[in-house]
Structure 1
């Protein structure tokens, strides 16, 4: 198993340890004040308050500026509560079914570093097909799902952008800007690596513009590679056949209502995504003191 990178849990300098504790203290004080004012915490919010890895994402994302990290964390907490008038934690699958049906983005299995793999296929994106509100909800829901899929000790995901079949009719600069803003502002340091494959020449002009909108540190984590190189990052047994791997899985989607009759299982409920969580739960219960 690889040693943690600098700035991650298990590899912090004394100064970084102190900054982590100070950020946690300040967030706790703010939260206590808001609760006293009548704010109710969701179970997810309570969980996030206990996650050192979440605080560290903001510290790394804000270049270890404590004040900026604190302000960003609080801004994110308020954004989560107020998102689209429903709150991030209240988005459910029925609110994004039109987007899921497109097949433009889904999660499936893990890479060699145990990072969740997110496949993005822009050829299935039609800027005029669904509302911008649903597109934004879809982005947030998928990002939240990715967080829940993280295995113990893993803090980031791997994104594979398949540009095969991409045309200018799929290009949506407004949505790209929104995605960058949401991910950089509210989910800093969530993506460990983005691999772009099958990129046509016409995307090069689009990329020159898009790259200028991305934080330079984040931009360094984006690589253009050949499809054949994907096996350097993903074990062939965990990589889809469509991308040179051995797994024959093809993404399809059925709504919550439709699957009641068919028994369809979405990828995030398949064994690859659930078995390790069941094992962790069983381990935690076994380690818990009995009365």
Structure 2
């Protein structure tokens, strides 16, 4: 039977064999040595040591690409957080923390999707720390929601986090008070889940919620006894910046004296094909004695996904920037695009977003450093049809999108038909009342004439 030691050995062997060595975050490398965490990865991969080692590697790569360890309350949209779209509270019958998603508060397209993803990573990491890696239950509160609240991209991202990057972290998926109009959409969601996750899905109403969440743990809005009202409370943990670990020395030949940043590579981003994505990356190092803030701009923001697109760096700290070509973009249209990295000195790394905005607004050209990068796409990495995303992945994505689109169209048609039916009912009722009134008046008139004839 595979053991955590087997997973650790396979992971460390891959570290030694990889050239150039990956610049994983120190906290992730520490996690790769943690017995408890490795047991979770093994559980997630059905005790397959090789699969577990591969998953551990993919987690480190992903966390590095999104800057997961650097996400905190100072660099996420706290105004989004305080709305209470996502929060943790209460426990299920197994004692697992509830991660609650209030679906009716989310309207697709109203908020920046990348900001929402960073908030999700913040909550997932926070729950992992506070719960010591114990499993959580995803509670989808669908009461009062409709098709305008159904965001397939967001749901797929939630599933991806549990499926690929947070091992053995999901207890149940609870879908509370799901409107019938969303039934078809959740059939699509089921196809995206592994068989084990489908088995953990629970569709509940106010009457059946007690089977998954005890009344004492359920909110009053769900028919429970807990009168909790969400209020964001910052995480209580001591913040520290660990020393950056590197696996290959990089010379200073690419940095000019007096410049704030060193970029590696310093003038060209080399893109490569990895699976169904074409991506490139570069590393920013703060060579200044003070902390700096940086921003990254491109001549074609609609063609690229840049993460992170901005941030802060303490003196001597580094940040790897990942750039992914958006699906469906033809490579011949991006070869001439450029990237601009701008930097400015700041008093400390934990400035608030509002303070950071003011610093940038008050800066002048003499206080800002700028670095320009061009793109290089090797000929062998360009797909024959010029598209980044093709094959079964594209077909699956298109199929899900098409299904939801058809559902939305059918819902809109049904809504129109219902309005017409209501109008028809109103007209019919009005005509019935008019006929009744006319009939009564006619009857009264005939009775009156009859009485008149009798008197004559």
TM-score, normalised to structure 1's length?
0.71
Corresponding residue for 1:89?
69
Question: Deviations along 1:61-103, whole A, 9 cap, x unmatched?
Answer: 33333222211211111211221xxx10100124132431332
Q: Distance in 2 between matches of 1:192 and 1:96?
A: 28
| Residues 116 and 149, structure 1, Cα contact 8 Å, conserved in 2 | no
- After the TM superposition, which segments of 4 or more aligned residues of structure 1 sit over 6 Å from their partners? none
Residue 126 (structure 1) shift: 1.8
Q: Is 1:215 aligned to residue 198 of structure 2?
A: no
Q: Structure 1 residues 216-225 or 61-70, which shifts more? A: 61-70
| Residues 80 and 89, structure 1, Cα contact 8 Å, conserved in 2 | yes
| Residues 24 and 64, structure 2, Cα contact 8 Å, conserved in 1 | no
RMSD: 2.7
Matches within 5 A, 1:187-202: 187-202=166-181
Q: Distance in 2 between matches of 1:113 and 1:60?
A: 18
Q: Is 1:166 aligned to residue 136 of structure 2?
A: no
Q: Distance in 2 between matches of 1:129 and 1:102?
A: 13
> Paired residue for 1:101, among 52, 70, 82?
82
Residue 30 (structure 1) shift: 4.5
Matches within 5 A, 1:1-291: 15=1, 18-30=2-14, 39=23, 41-42=25-26, 44-45=27-28, 47-83=30-66, 87-93=67-73, 94-150=75-131, 155-253=134-232, 265=233
Q: Structure 1 residues 95-104 or 25-34, which shifts more? A: 25-34
Bigger fraction of residues in strand: 2
Q: Distance in 1 between matches of 2:15 and 2:77?
A: 30
Residue 224 (structure 1) shift: 0.4
Q: Distance in 1 between matches of 2:202 and 2:174?
A: 5
Q: Secondary structure at the match of 2:180?
A: coil
- Compare relative contact order (CA 8 Å, sep 6+) and give the higher one, 1 or 2: 1
Question: Deviations along 1:235-260, whole A, 9 cap, x unmatched?
Answer: 4333322223222111134xxxxxxx
Residue 231 (structure 1) shift: 3.0
TM-aligned CA distance change 1:239 to 1:40, over 3 Å: same
Residue 144 (structure 1) shift: 0.9
TM-aligned CA distance change 1:250 to 1:32, over 3 Å: farther
Question: Deviations along 1:9-59, whole A, 9 cap, x unmatched?
Answer: xxxxxx1xx43320022234445778x9584743x3255234333223322
Corresponding residue for 2:273?
none
Q: Distance in 2 between matches of 1:41 and 1:186?
A: 15
Question: Deviations along 1:103-130, whole A, 9 cap, x unmatched?
Answer: 2210013334331111111111122122
Structure 2 residues not aligned, in runs of 5+: 238-456
Q: Secondary structure at the match of 1:231?
A: helix
Structure 1 residues not aligned, in runs of 5+: 1-14, 254-264, 275-291
Q: Secondary structure at the match of 2:119?
A: helix
Q: Secondary structure at the match of 1:21?
A: helix
**Bigger Cα Rg:** 2
Residue 167 (structure 1) shift: 0.8
| Residues 15 and 22, structure 2, Cα contact 8 Å, conserved in 1 | no
Q: Distance in 1 between matches of 2:211 and 2:3?
A: 36
